[in-house]
Structure 1
Amino acid sequence: MLTLNIKDGKWLNAPDEFEISNHSLSFTSMPFTDFWQRTNYGYRTDNGHAYLFSTGEKEFSFTVKVQFSGKELYDQSGIMVFMDSENWLKASVEKGKSGEWLLGSVVTNHGYSDWAISQEEKDEDTVMWYRLTRKQNDFLTEVSRDGKSFRQIRMSHLFRASNEIQFGLYACSPKDSSFQTVFSCMKLEPSVWSEESHI
């Protein structure tokens, strides 16, 4: 049986300010934090904040509600799968150059990141639901504004995700800024991935 206790998570780069209750996690990002590897910009950084759970389950779905209130360029919060600094994925809402909300995803294999974005409807405080589904080394990432109707934003493969992985929540502020994120309504369940999931 799949179960998730929020207090079983472990920090990767804990922020100075955070609060964990029985049903939610909130924390404030610190300035100049990010996850990226090499591609285009040349730099490497993995000092973003992530609260991660470990599992050896090869098939599961993880859902979480994220309340995002980023203020500055590239402020971002969402979900993450992490093996090591050079092998991970993340998906999030982030602040764009013109103040718009962007829905972004990054997949990093063997130390090289890619980045895909699309524009998202803007709210003062954006609430987004994320659903991450694992099938062996493959991952389906979906989002929803109401927690009911999900749409795919990424189907990807992580070469190093053969056995135990870490997955969970993340946020960071690549520029000189900080903001609070609230994660709640977390659920771990059997995989919802079907052959029709990507249609």
Structure 2
Amino acid sequence: MNGRKRMDWKAGAWLNPPQSSREEGEMLKVVPEKGRDFWKKTLYGFEFEDGPALLAHWEPGTAVEVSFELASFTELYDQAGLLLYHGPGQWIKAGIEINDGIPQLAAVVTDGYSDWSLAAVPEWAGEEVTLRASIMKDAVILRARSGHHPWRTIRVARFPYPSDNKAGPYTCSPTRDGFEVTFTRWECTEPDRELHSDPPME
């Protein structure tokens, strides 16, 4: 593909609808229902795949980016970001999650079982954050940046699905009511050229 393609919010279909969602200008405001999440078995034993995610077909040979504001993230497990979805039990969620009282870059990689990685980014509090995913060979490269901080590579994860994938913004609020996320952008763009070079900024 050439350049960037901004996704219309209406181009996506909800994998599990939220409690509410509404467009305000170019933004999408989403309130997830308390108690829903994405997780499979590991450590906790429970299985959730009922969180709201607005998904569209992910074209092979493209990267996908989702941006959102962190101002409303205040309580444990408040979270939002990007969901990469191949099918039930085969997905990755990557975004910001409040843990230990601060924003954390979080990735959950799932193929029947989930794992979870965290990296603290307290300096990103209150900013706009962008998550990015780009497939390379049998893996996906996950990156993130904020309005005042450059791209960080947060995970290289196995994702051996060259086609039949969906991707888009997700949010969950496992422990509280009233959490609202403002998504500001959803785009498809050029894929990463290699692991150790930053992707272009818009």
TM-score, normalising length: structure 1: 0.87
Which of 17, 38, 44 lines up with 2:20 in the alignment? 17
Paired with 1:145 and 1:123, the residues of 2 have a C-alpha distance of: 6
Paired with 1:79 and 1:193, the residues of 2 have a C-alpha distance of: 20
8 A contact 2:64–2:187 mirrored in 1: yes
Report the aligned-residue RMSD: 2.2
8 A contact 1:64–1:185 mirrored in 2: yes
Structure 2 partner of 1:44: 47
Structure 2 partner of 1:163: 163
The question of 1:178 aligning with 2:167 is answered: no
Paired with 1:22 and 1:53, the residues of 2 have a C-alpha distance of: 20
The question of 1:28 aligning with 2:31 is answered: yes
Count of residue correspondences: 194
Superposed CA deviations along residues 129-181 of structure 1, whole A, max 9, x for unmatched, are 1121123542111111127821100111124x232101010000111333111
The aligned amino acid for 1:158 is: F
Superposed CA deviations along residues 48-78 of structure 1, whole A, max 9, x for unmatched, are 11011113x3221122221132232111101
8 A contact 2:27–2:185 mirrored in 1: yes
Structure 1 partner of 2:128: 127
The farther-off stretch of 136-145 and 7-16 is 136-145
The farther-off stretch of 85-94 and 64-73 is 64-73
Structure 2 partner of 1:117: 118
Structure 2 partner of 1:149: 150
8 A contact 2:67–2:184 mirrored in 1: yes
User: What SS does structure 1 have at the residue aligned with 2:150?
Assistant: coil
Which of 80, 88, 91 lines up with 1:88 in the alignment? 91
Paired with 1:194 and 1:123, the residues of 2 have a C-alpha distance of: 26
8 A contact 1:133–1:193 mirrored in 2: no
- Displacement of 1:14: 0.9
The question of 1:77 aligning with 2:74 is answered: no
Change (3 A) 1:128 1:195: closer
The aligned amino acid for 1:23 is: E
Paired with 2:97 and 2:85, the residues of 1 have a C-alpha distance of: 19
Structure 2 partner of 1:67: 69
Structure 1 partner of 2:107: 105
Change (3 A) 1:61 1:123: closer
8 A contact 2:79–2:171 mirrored in 1: yes
The aligned amino acid for 2:106 is: G
* Identity over aligned pairs, percent: 27
Superposed CA deviations along residues 2-48 of structure 1, whole A, max 9, x for unmatched, are 64333210101111210135633211121101100011111101111
Paired with 1:25 and 1:158, the residues of 2 have a C-alpha distance of: 28
The farther-off stretch of 39-48 and 12-21 is 12-21
TM-score, normalising length: structure 2: 0.86
User: Structure 1 regions of 5+ residues with no counterpart?
Assistant: none
